[in-house]
Amino acid sequence: MSGDILQINHLSFSYRSKLIYDEANLEITKVGIYGLVAPNGSGKTTLLNLVANLLAVKNGRIDIFGQKDTPDIFFNYASFLQDNRVLYPYLTAREHLNFVCEQHHVDQKKIETVAHVLGMSNYIDQKIISYSLGMKQRLLLGLAIITKPQLILMDEPLNGLDPTSLAIVRKVVTELRDQGSTLLISSHNLDELNKITKNVFFVKGHKILLKELNNQESTEKVYEELYMNLEDFDV
């Protein structure tokens, strides 16, 4: 599928006097997996929050699937994997997944399938307070994908994952892409990101740049070129 999946035009955003975006643009017209990469504090989470309508866009415009990105449109077409502070410590994974299924009128039978795919079946009825970081990350992934949205935003989904969990995420995101979903994934794990996509957005100078890497190029290399001048560091 191609068309207007995500369009960000002339986006400017500041927190009080701190400028984050200045007339930034981003366009995704082809289904796929896209990385979102930048040093700490550059504005990756801010961008995802703006697309998810958790922050209001006052300057510029965001459209998804050719329509103005309102909370209703986002709810219908998209999902957002945020950090694990959004989880309720005294609820179980099943209760979280049940809630999302109810809100989206998704058959609750899908919960077992998603739990199985993500290797969560044996702890799905335990409360979140007893979960490790990786267990929480798997649940967050489950919550983001159970409705099979066409656009999935993921903020640091690879954080704290062991090699088995990373392999699960890799399999799940590539399958979703093959089934027609588009994923925008922020991460500092450039090595892992490199395995799942060659299309990476970088935030630099308050703008968003897309790099379409060829087989010889890596995300790490572009990162070094854009942000690191190792000669500046005295060890």
Ligand X SMILES: Nc1ncnc2c1ncn2[C@@H]1O[C@H](COP(=O)(O)OP(=O)(O)OP(=O)(O)O)[C@@H](O)[C@H]1O
**What values do phi and psi take at 169, rounded to 5?**
-60, -45
Give yes or no for residue 44 binding ligand X (CB under 6 A): yes
Give the residue carrying structure tokens 């299309």.
199
Give yes or no for residue 20 binding ligand X (CB under 6 A): yes
**Spatial CA neighbour of 186 closest among 40, 27, 28, 71:** 40
Q: How far is the CB of 188 from ligand X (least distance, A)?
A: 6
Compare residues 69 and 156 and give the one whose CB is closer to ligand X: 156
Residue 15: other Cβ atoms inside 10 A = 10
The one among 6, 31, 38, 200 contacting ligand X by CB under 6 A? 38
Q: How far is the CB of 6 from ligand X (least distance, A)?
A: 17
Compare residues 40 and 216 and give the one whose CB is closer to ligand X: 40
**What values do phi and psi take at 29, rounded to 5?**
-115, -10
Q: What is the DSSP string of 159-212?
A: TT--HHHHHHHHHHHHHHHHTT-EEEEE-S-HHHHHHH-SEEEEEETTEEEEEE
Q: Which is it for strands 78-81 and 67-68: parallel, antiparallel or unpaired?
A: unpaired
Give yes or no for residue 42 binding ligand X (CB under 6 A): yes
Q: How far is the CB of 166 from ligand X (least distance, A)?
A: 19
Compare residues 40 and 229 and give the one whose CB is closer to ligand X: 40
Give yes or no for residue 45 binding ligand X (CB under 6 A): yes
Give yes or no for residue 153 binding ligand X (CB under 6 A): no
Task: Tell me which residues touch ligand X (CB under 6 A).
Answer: 15, 18, 20, 38, 40-46
